[in-house]
Amino acid sequence: MIKINCLDLYKKQYTLDILAHNINNLQIKIILHTQKLDADFCAKYILDDDYCTCTEDEDLINYGYVLRHQPHITAAELDIALEENIDPTCLS
């Protein structure tokens, strides 16, 4: 699989598989600003604190921020994706 870095994200669009494979090499905010993502990707990676690359990510990136920067995703789609990606062990 191809290895990419944050600078590459400004040059072209990558598949969600490539982005997921490189998630630990990339900054979440830059992915969100430069790539067209789907609701599942946003739920799994963008809104998951485990993938935050800095404190700014934790403070800045939230549900509304995702919807503003990925306007093709509806709130309903993101809600469904979040429900499907919630770890049930975190609910207790």
The predicted structure's pLDDT at residue 89: 53
Average pLDDT per consecutive 10 residues, the chain (92 residues; last block may be shorter) = 95 98 94 97 90 71 95 97 75 40
Predicted confidence at residue 46, as pLDDT, reads 93
Do 66 and 43 contact (CB within 8 A), yes or no?
A: no
- pLDDT for residue 87: 62
3-state secondary structure of 47: coil
Pair 72, 32: CB distance under 8 Å: no
pLDDT, residue 4, reads 97
Count of Cβ atoms closer than 10 Å to residue 46 Cβ: 24
- The pLDDT, as a whole number, for residue 7 is 97
Question: Model-level pTM?
Answer: 0.87
